[in-house]
Amino acid sequence: MSGQSGQLSAHPGAGHRERLRQRLLSGGAEALADYELLEYLLFAAIRQGDTKPLAKRLIAHFGSFAAVLNAEPAALTQVKGMGEASAASLYAVSLAARRMARGAVQDQPVLGSWQALLDYLAIDMAHLKHERVRVLYLDTRNRLILDHLAAEGSVDEAAIHPREVIRRAFDIGASALILVHNHPSGDPEPSRADIAITNRIAEAGRLLGVTVHDHVIVGRGLHVSLRAKGLI
């Protein structure tokens, strides 16, 4: 009887979950396909049953594995089969990834950790559906003091004021800054407005001794540096 009881207690799909676990532990970074990794992440909140259909629905709905993890919890729960617990599990993974990426640039000279900085920005901004403007304030050793969310929306003087950007640098003791924003279209090529506002902030900084190192525009899988293009 005890053997039969043990068989009955094993829920359908337990063998599949165990196989995924073993592949994950022994197969390296590419052991699981995107939908399989998403399946595994859902196991924490969905203790029984097959999570494969839900994982595939999520990727189809948002367009990619990365877009699923970048989705807000409220958007995740709009997908059939996703409850608050499942959304929280995926959102926690997203936050963990952002904190790991941020840790790679904290307490390091940003200009010497450029790829780590780009990875950090891409995780947070590449999949946004709206523009987000950030100012990274740096100390005299080019270490990050403050990652400031300056505006949500278009990059122009109605959204971001050059004097306010420079004034905040004085307030926190920053000697340099990097402007960052994303293009929801995915194309990171700078617009005339991007170039114009960058030059206004750079000019205000020159007058007051605050260096504008760069303006980085983040696209989908791509980025553009205005400094590298000779536009600053």
CATH for 161: 3.40.140.10
Cα distances (Å, whole numbers) of residue 200 to 55, 166, 178, 194, 229: 46, 11, 14, 10, 17
Distance CA 54, CA 110 (A): 40
The confidence score (pLDDT) of residue 6 equals 42
Looking at the structure, tell me whether residues 44 and 135 fall in a common domain: no
Final residue of a structural domain among 100, 117, 152 = 100
Polymer length of the chain: 232
| Residue 174 DSSP code | -
Residue 61 lies in a domain: yes
The confidence score (pLDDT) of residue 138 equals 92
Residue ranges making up the domain that contains 8:
2-100
The confidence score (pLDDT) of residue 33 equals 87
Looking at the structure, tell me whether residues 176 and 200 fall in a common domain: yes
Looking at the structure, tell me whether residues 66 and 169 fall in a common domain: no
Q: For the chain, how many structural domains are there in total?
A: 2
Distance CA 69, CA 6 (A): 36
Residue 232 lies in a domain: no
Looking at the structure, tell me whether residues 113 and 83 fall in a common domain: no
Looking at the structure, tell me whether residues 81 and 135 fall in a common domain: no
Distance CA 38, CA 43 (A): 9
Looking at the structure, tell me whether residues 118 and 211 fall in a common domain: yes
Looking at the structure, tell me whether residues 120 and 136 fall in a common domain: yes
Looking at the structure, tell me whether residues 111 and 216 fall in a common domain: yes
Q: What is the pLDDT along the chain (232 residues), one digit of tens a residue?
A: 444 444 434 555 668 888 888 888 887 767 888 988 898 889 888 887 788 999 999 999 998 888 888 888 999 999 999 999 999 999 898 888 878 777 766 766 776 777 888 887 877 777 777 888 899 999 998 888 888 988 877 666 556 788 889 999 999 999 999 999 988 888 889 989 889 999 999 999 998 899 999 999 988 878 899 998 888 8
Measured from the Cβ of residue 41, the count of other Cβ atoms closer than 10 Å reads: 20
The confidence score (pLDDT) of residue 8 equals 39
Looking at the structure, tell me whether residues 218 and 176 fall in a common domain: yes
CA dihedral 168, 169, 174, 180 (to 10 degrees): 100
Looking at the structure, tell me whether residues 75 and 170 fall in a common domain: no
Distance CA 195, CA 156 (A): 10
For residue 7, what are the contacts with CB-CB under 8 A and spacing of at least 6?
A: none
The confidence score (pLDDT) of residue 11 equals 55
- CATH label of the domain that carries residue 48: 1.10.150.20
For residue 88, what are the contacts with CB-CB under 8 A and spacing of at least 6?
A: 45, 73
Residue 231 lies in a domain: no
Write b or e for each residue in 182-212: b if 16 or more Cβ atoms lie within 10 A of its Cβ, otherwise e: bbeeeebebeeebbebbbbbbebbeeeebbb
